[in-house]
Amino acid sequence: MTVRVLVADDQDLVRTGLAMILDDQPGIEVVGQAADGRTAVDLAHRLRPDVCLVDIRMPGLDGIEVTEILAGRDVADPVAVVVITTFDLDEYVHGALRAGARGFLLKDAGPELLVQAVHAAAAGDALIAPNVTRRLLATLAAGAPSRSRAQPVEPLTPREEEVLRLVAVGRTNAEIAAELFVSLTTAKTHVASLLTKIGARNRVEIAMWAYDTGRVRG
């Protein structure tokens, strides 16, 4: 199955470069490009790509606003969004993920991580660049837990608490399985249970919930 991608970035060279990298990959097709946020939203609604790769800073609508429109919690038919930015803009990570982004990358992440993020988003998973995860942890650990986050509908088991912390620091299912000495299927089952119990849509929201409830403090 080919993953159809829309690339949105206001810098022509960056946008063209990202599109070329993705188009060169087997199983990925760039179906559209946008130089501003409003065009990105219009094209996403018209083309219905599997994944939108969106820059955080764009004219018209920024990446967070685009993400909220395309993938926000109240969107009936959301589109998977991966947000991409530069080092000096990563203070927007939290906002983008809260808006519904399924991934967050820095522009120097490299082709391999870019392709992984696109495939993860298309599969309903999420990927955050490891260096972003570390910075995000440091930022969130400095703040107090949010009182707006509801507790789980059912208490988490001790094993689920372990899995929660590993998801929150960016571990994949395979890494969780290896670290906890369980099968990959078991790891996936625990993650699925977490999604249900805390009402999260994806792994990113699991991580946000872990930070907000004080379960992960860096």
Alpha-carbon 57 to chain mean position: 17
pLDDT of residue 144: 46
pLDDT tens, 100-159?
888 888 888 889 989 988 998 898 877 777 666 656 655 655 554 454 566 787 899 999
Q: How far is CA 75 from the centre of its chain?
A: 16
The secondary structure of residue 27, as a DSSP letter, is T
Q: What is the distance, to the nearest Å, from the Cα of residue 1 to the centroid of all Cα atoms in its chain?
A: 21
Distance CA 88, CA 100 (A): 21
Amino acid occupying residue 217: R
Predicted TM-score (pTM) of this structure: 0.75
Continuous segment of H or E residues that includes residue 5: strand 3-8
Give the whole-angstrom CA distance, residue 166 versus residue 176: 7
Distance CA 140, CA 47 (A): 36
Q: Does 189 score more than 90 pLDDT?
A: yes
